[in-house]
Structure 1
């Protein structure tokens, strides 16, 4: 436990974080996130954050050491995709019961589970995630993993991020520490080259990194390791031989990028693959870093040629949507890198941003938003559901881009909604991804269903009642005789 406490303190003192550097020594010790309230929904615990970062490593067995519910709550919480192995889609847990806790059977049950996974699946590595229960029990996860690795001849990686130690973002960083301590640098590639790079913080949601990788392939740039999206254990173990790195989500793995730069001289920059301009800038920055690291300068020219070709194709496709979307108002309720990268992408085609959430954004993210929108009046830390509903119901935005948790607010306000977070079904990265994002926004805004649902319900529409003129006394006394029955009497009807 003391080792875990020291590791957490090290993450809190992250010098690569601008926000952290702006604090005094006392404030820095309190950490980057607000403390969790026991029993409250805090948007994910440290265990959840560590599992998010590491589970997309597709050929690894992920073993949760704790009660069954911990594995159930953390499995498949992001829509990452794999181009090959499917082992990561299998859930493994020691499934501790009350009896196991009382009798202190946690370590023995963990050792047995590792052996069963090794015999049944033979993975290159097994990642072990302690939870609140096993951490409070005092199970020595490090010792069990070390003994199992020696006994069974497989890499067993302890991921010390039990839920009670902090927030999901802290768990992201602790996952990076686990990779740095137990995985990266444990293997050597047989073909290192001057054009090898790492991509950090890219999760390959809906397979969107597959829209970017072909661009790098055309430039002769090899992705040594994409951490964690569609990753393989051996690739991550060899990641220390890359020549440069790009950080996509700095709040998650900035500590990993900084320490890899210190240990193996791998310079990095923070960028985005959302939007045409940002994608082009990312490709340029990668090429420039590689040249600084000794690559042939001719790659700079090839990069500009590729950018010109791809931008021309993308802008030609976007031209069809511009007349339909210019002036449309978008409310963006997300965070992190998307708080500025998606904003920049949408403003490029004339869409107006009426607000963007910066709850999970860094100081650099907020500065980028100010540069894009020219002010900070459109940024908000957090918007309550009532305020969000009021804004949408008053038609101050034409569409809401957010995660699944706020979709029902938009639907109640009869406003189009598009999923922009990890549950999304469409890839939005790169040039083609930008076209797809605009296409989906266009489909959502101009869907005829919104015109129908905004009309009054049939039961709310009272039919118009015609006021009849009161009859005069003479009209009431007048007998109107139907020609067919002229000359008949009441007796004739009675006979019939």
Structure 2
């Protein structure tokens, strides 16, 4: 536990983060994450963050050393996609019970589970995740993993990020520390070249990195490791031989990028593949870093030629949407890199951004937003559901772009909604991804259902006055009997 405490303090003291450098020594030790209330960390604890970062490594077995509920609540928490192995889609847990805790059988059960996975699946590595229960009872995860690795001849990686140590973002960084300590640099590639790069913080949600990789392939740039999206264990183990790196989401793995630069001299920059302008700029910066590391300068010319060709194609496809979407107002309720990259992308085609949240954004992200929007009034630190509903119900936005948690706020306000967070069903990265994003926005806004749901309900309409036909004597007696029994006369509603 003392080693975990030291690791957490090291992660908090992140010199690559400008916001952290501006703090005094005492404030720096506290980090950026708010302390968690015990029992209130579900869905946002450190274990959840570590699992998010590492689970997309597709050929690895992910073993949760905990009661069954820990794995049940964290499984498949990202919509990452794989081009090959499917082992990461299988859940593994030691299913610790009260009897195991009382009798001290946790470590024995973990060793047995590692052996069963090795015999049944033969993966190149097994990642072991302790959670609150196993960390509190003192199971020595690192010792068991070390013994199992020697016994079974495969990598067994302890991921020391139990939920109670902090927030999800802290778990992201602890997962990066596990890769640095146990995986990266453990295998020497025999095909290292001057055009090898790493992509860090890219999760390949809905397969969107597959829209970007062909662009790099056309430039002769090889992705040595994409961490973690659609990754393979041995690719990550060889990642230390890349020549440059691009950081897609700094709040998640900036410690990984910085320490790889310190240990192996791999320069990195933070960029985005969302939007035409940002995709082009990312390709330029990758090429420039490779040239600084010794690659042939002719790649710069080829990059500009590729950018010109792809931008022309993308703008031609977007031209048909501009008359339908220009001037439409978008409210963006997300965070991180999307808080500024998607803003830039939408403004490229004439869509007005009336607000964007920066709850999970860094200081650098906020500065980028200010430069793009040029108005602080459109930036919200946190947007509660009532405030969000008020904006939408007052028709201050034509569509809400957010995650699944706020979709029902938009539906209640009878406003179109589009998912752009990790649960999304469509890829939005790269040039083709930008076209797809605009297409989905257009489909959502122009959907005729919104005209129908905004019409008054039939029961809210005024009853129509209609001349009644003469009734027979028996019908009149029956009608009076019904009215006398019910005490009221039911109105006759006409058409709305």
1:466: how far off? Answer: 6.6
Any idea what the Cα deviations from partners look like across 1:11-41, whole Å, max 9, x if unmatched?
0001111111111111111121111112225
Q: Is the partner of 1:15 in helix, strand or coil?
A: coil
The farther-off stretch of 16-25 and 414-423 is 16-25
In the TM superposition, what are the counterparts of 1:113-152 in structure 2 within 5 Å?
A: 113-152=113-152
1:108: how far off? Answer: 0.4
1:352: how far off? Answer: 0.5
Tell me: CA distance 1:98–1:470, structure 2 relative to 1, closer, same or farther (3 Å). Answer: closer
**Residues 41 and 163, structure 2, Cα contact 8 Å, conserved in 1:** no
**Residues 464 and 492, structure 2, Cα contact 8 Å, conserved in 1:** no
What's 2:317 paired with?
Answer: 317
1:465: how far off? Answer: 2.6
Q: Is the partner of 2:487 in helix, strand or coil?
A: coil
Stretches of structure 1 that go unaligned for 5 or more consecutive residues are none
The farther-off stretch of 11-20 and 172-181 is 11-20
1:375: how far off? Answer: 1.9
The farther-off stretch of 40-49 and 51-60 is 40-49
Tell me: CA distance 1:106–1:467, structure 2 relative to 1, closer, same or farther (3 Å). Answer: same
Q: Is the partner of 1:44 in helix, strand or coil?
A: coil
What's 1:68 paired with?
Answer: 68
Tell me: CA distance 1:470–1:301, structure 2 relative to 1, closer, same or farther (3 Å). Answer: same
Stretches of structure 2 that go unaligned for 5 or more consecutive residues are none
**Residues 60 and 124, structure 1, Cα contact 8 Å, conserved in 2:** yes
Q: Is the partner of 2:169 in helix, strand or coil?
A: helix
Tell me: CA distance 1:495–1:138, structure 2 relative to 1, closer, same or farther (3 Å). Answer: closer
Q: Is the partner of 1:480 in helix, strand or coil?
A: helix
Q: Distance in 2 between matches of 1:96 and 1:188?
A: 37
**Residues 463 and 494, structure 2, Cα contact 8 Å, conserved in 1:** no
Tell me: CA distance 1:494–1:482, structure 2 relative to 1, closer, same or farther (3 Å). Answer: farther
Q: Distance in 1 between matches of 2:252 and 2:491?
A: 98
**Residues 399 and 418, structure 1, Cα contact 8 Å, conserved in 2:** yes
1:486: how far off? Answer: 41
Any idea what the Cα deviations from partners look like across 1:216-256, whole Å, max 9, x if unmatched?
00000000000000000000000000000000000000000
Q: Distance in 2 between matches of 1:339 and 1:44?
A: 20
Structure 1 moving runs of 4+ over 6 Å: 466-496
1:190: how far off? Answer: 0.8
What's 2:17 paired with?
Answer: 17
1:463: how far off? Answer: 2.9
The farther-off stretch of 455-464 and 92-101 is 455-464
**Residues 160 and 174, structure 2, Cα contact 8 Å, conserved in 1:** yes
Q: Distance in 1 between matches of 2:483 and 2:109?
A: 100
**Residues 42 and 167, structure 1, Cα contact 8 Å, conserved in 2:** no
Any idea what the Cα deviations from partners look like across 1:457-493, whole Å, max 9, x if unmatched?
0111123337999999999999999999999999999
What's 1:86 paired with?
Answer: 86
**Residues 50 and 173, structure 1, Cα contact 8 Å, conserved in 2:** yes
Tell me: CA distance 1:475–1:311, structure 2 relative to 1, closer, same or farther (3 Å). Answer: closer
**Residues 330 and 354, structure 1, Cα contact 8 Å, conserved in 2:** yes
TM-score by length of 2: 0.94
Any idea what the Cα deviations from partners look like across 1:25-63, whole Å, max 9, x if unmatched?
111111211111122256510000000000000000000
Tell me: CA distance 1:90–1:42, structure 2 relative to 1, closer, same or farther (3 Å). Answer: closer
Tell me: CA distance 1:142–1:459, structure 2 relative to 1, closer, same or farther (3 Å). Answer: same
TM-score by length of 1: 0.94
1:290: how far off? Answer: 0.1
**Residues 61 and 127, structure 2, Cα contact 8 Å, conserved in 1:** yes
1:112 aligns with 2:112: yes
Q: Which has the larger radius of gyration?
A: 1
Tell me: CA distance 1:462–1:311, structure 2 relative to 1, closer, same or farther (3 Å). Answer: same
Any idea what the Cα deviations from partners look like across 1:323-343, whole Å, max 9, x if unmatched?
000110000000000000000
Q: Distance in 2 between matches of 1:45 and 1:488?
A: 58
Q: Distance in 2 between matches of 1:326 and 1:194?
A: 43
